[in-house]
Amino acid sequence: MVDLVRRTCSCGKFDLMKIPCRHAIKAAFNVGIQAHTLTDDMYTTASWSSIYEESINPISVPEDAWIVPSHVQQAKDLPLETRRAAGRIKKRRYETVEDKIRSSQGTQSSKRRKCSRCGIEGHNRSTCDR
């Protein structure tokens, strides 16, 4: 359920990020609204420049006139000596809102396992009596 006036969607992405999710984009195109008009004002260039206009202080001295001490210029920054852990590298995957909803709804009907020796459900080959 998408409400373009209130800028909400039942998936939660539109509410959270204030950027139209895929459902809101499709609904906007069906109504004839351009999707970029649904993004929040905080993502506009004008708001970003107004936020950072006071806190960014440019360096008044050109880079050629900087006075860097010799011990800083001669210092060598080497990477830390670390050893990678043995085994396969684990991949990190951030769960989307849709995946979280699916996982919270419980598992789908799981396939029942059968014994590979007798073919009867309820036990496996190592505990088979036949």
Two tokens at 128? 């088979």
Distance CA(44)–CA(15), nearest Å, equals 18
Q: What is the pLDDT of residues 74-85, one digit of tens each?
A: 998 888 888 888
Give percent of the chain above pLDDT 90. 15
Q: Are the C-beta atoms of residues 112 and 121 closer than 8 Å to each other?
A: yes
* Single-letter amino acid, residue 8: T
* End-to-end Cα, the chain, rounded Å: 55
Q: What is the pLDDT of residues 6-53, one digit of tens each?
A: 889 998 888 888 899 999 999 999 999 998 889 988 888 888 888 887
